[in-house]
Structure 1
Amino acid sequence: MHMTQTIVAETEADQIIEVAGIHKTYGNVVTALQDINLGFQRGELTSLLGPSGCGKTTLLKIIAGLLEPTEGEVRVHGKPVTGPGPERAFVFQDFALMPWATVIKNAAFGLELKGVALEEREDRARHYINEVGLAGFEDKYPHELSGGMRQRVGLARALAVEAEVLLMDEPFSAVDEQTRRKFQEDLIRLRETENKTFILVTHSIEEAVYLSDRIVLLSPRPGRLKQIVAPEIDRSGDPEAIRRNTEYLDLIDDIWAGLRDYVE
């Protein structure tokens, strides 16, 4: 069965992020995460998948430095995380755009915070606006864009700061199915051209299998590492052909069989 595929051993040279013994409790009452140990390698896309309430977004925010763990630590290039850092960029589920700013100003905002000169930051923002398919919309405002276009602006902003790791919290959940599919195809292409490490929270088994080098399955609360699955799917050809691939469909069924008992 595909659920038992072997993971290639990680090497320290390729590992960017290490999650070591992470435990998160809210108010000494609710344990969200328990004893999470993971490594994330350069250039990989990893999906965090599991039933609602299993701590996927909590883990992502701990990696981002937006939440402190109760126990354990996250290390980036061997250094403990004490807060957000320039090597990690977060793509929020609700886009988090500034409504009074144009597309190019939103895309360049992270660079402005870093003190990058106006001409350079706008050049870089334009490049990534083009990369995410928004060329020609630089001077539009968020209220003039569809939900899918606003999410592309958020992605362009994260790419523009040239962080090594992109952390994405259900980035496609607020768009329609057609837009979601196009986003997924674009993300596969961006992985190849940008060579960044992506960590993605999703509720969609299909999305996780379609996109991921690895799928981290978390158990119901308290979230524990249940299993790591490595899809062996050729993504080099027609993106739509993947969705008809027997291995893709079989792996979706296998993962669903493992999660079914946890779904109310």
Structure 2
Amino acid sequence: MQQAARSTIKAAATNDEAIVQVRGIDKTYGDIEALRNVDLEFSRGKLTTLLGPSGCGKTTLLKIIAGLVPATAGEIRVNGRVVTGPGPERAFVFQDFALMPWATVMRNVAFGLELRGVNAAERKRIATHYIEEVGLVGFEDKYPHELSGGMRQRVGIARAFSVNADVLLLDEPFSAVDEQNRRKFQEDLLRLVDLEKKTFIFVTHSIEEAVYVSDRIVLLSPRPGRISQIIDPKIDRSASPDDIRRDPGYLNTVEEIWDGLRHYVD
């Protein structure tokens, strides 16, 4: 394959404007070492994907950053403050949607605001805005069991955006939807990244998805998860979705990553 517009691949990266700092993170579960000495920085306003073989610790690292799982060693800082648990500056989008089955779309989207004591009128205004942004107008009064899997995931994404967190943590958010919806979600995500100017940390198993949506890709090694490579895709985001997926830079980056991962796959 012609090596045009290749991505930049390097062993480490730092950024003076990093909003999330990961320092020397280790994680063990009993005698299983999940992560070893992970050092990373996540830049403000960018989307970084954690990618690697199954069991490499991608979701574990995401949950440590979220404050949902404690590290065995090391520390996480967000906006310069050490993470000791969940906080309002971070919002998590779960793979399994994690919606309240007894609550409407509107109540689910507004629930984080309700927990923060935001008044009802303001909750409705903010929730309505993000329901519109994710394409669920007309479904405000529906319950999760009345929605498709893709629509339920849109509710989860709208809920995460509604609380105005600085950092959005997304754990394989599109894995439960079909390929057509997945591609549409990827395009919508890029639009929201550009619109919201938040910091996104994204976990996926899909190389193609990672290259399509990411400003940066962090490759983790098999367990114990360590930083293997950091890749900066050189993708022209002004091109149409179809043109991006046909672009030599996109295709070459997908192949480079696969070359680095193929020997880890059984």
Which band: TM-score by shorter chain?
over 0.9
Aligned position for 1:103 = 105
Give 1:135 shift: 1.1
Give 1:5 shift: 3.8
Please list the CA deviations of residues 17-66 of structure 1 after superposition, one character each: whole Å capped at 9, or x if unmatched. 00000000111x00000000000011110000000000000000000000
Determine if the alignment matches structure 1 residue 24 to structure 2 residue 27.
yes
Distance 2:252 2:126 in 1: 41
**More displaced 10-residue stretch of structure 1: 239-248 or 59-68:** 239-248
Distance 2:122 2:65 in 1: 29
Report the 3-state secondary structure (helix = DSSP H, G, I; strand = E; otherwise coil) of the residue aligned with 1:129.
helix
Please list the CA deviations of residues 74-116 of structure 1 after superposition, one character each: whole Å capped at 9, or x if unmatched. 0011110000000100000000001111100000000001011
Q: 1:120-159 counterparts in 2 under 5 A? A: 120-159=122-161
Residue 256 of structure 2 aligns to which amino acid in structure 1? D
Determine if the alignment matches structure 1 residue 173 to structure 2 residue 175.
yes
Q: 1:9-48 counterparts in 2 under 5 A? A: 10-12=14-16, 14-27=17-30, 29-48=31-50
Determine if the alignment matches structure 1 residue 253 to structure 2 residue 255.
yes
Residue 22 of structure 2 aligns to which amino acid in structure 1? V
- Give the alignment partner of residue 236 of structure 2, picking from 221, 225, 234: 234
Give 1:15 shift: 1.0
Please list the CA deviations of residues 182-237 of structure 1 after superposition, one character each: whole Å capped at 9, or x if unmatched. 00000010011100111000000000000000000000000000000000101112
Which ranges in structure 2 are unaligned for 5 or more consecutive residues? Answer: none
Give 1:10 shift: 4.1
CA RMSD, 1 decimal:
1.4
Report the 3-state secondary structure (helix = DSSP H, G, I; strand = E; otherwise coil) of the residue aligned with 2:246.
coil
Distance 2:199 2:152 in 1: 22
TM-score of the pair, normalised by structure 2: 0.96
Which ranges in structure 1 are unaligned for 5 or more consecutive residues? Answer: none
Aligned position for 1:262 = 264
Distance 1:224 1:9 in 2: 14
Report the 3-state secondary structure (helix = DSSP H, G, I; strand = E; otherwise coil) of the residue aligned with 1:116.
coil
TM-score of the pair, normalised by structure 1: 0.97
Q: How many residues align?
A: 262
Distance 2:38 2:123 in 1: 38
Give 1:11 shift: 3.9
CA contact (8 A) 2:45 2:193 kept: yes
Distance 1:10 1:53 in 2: 25
Find runs of 4+ consecutive structure 1 residues off by over 6 angstroms. Answer: none
Aligned position for 1:67 = 69
Question: Percent of aligned pairs with the same residue?
Answer: 69
User: Against the structure 1 CA distance between its residues 4 and 11, is the aligned structure 2 distance closer, same or farther, given a 3 Å change threshold?
Assistant: closer
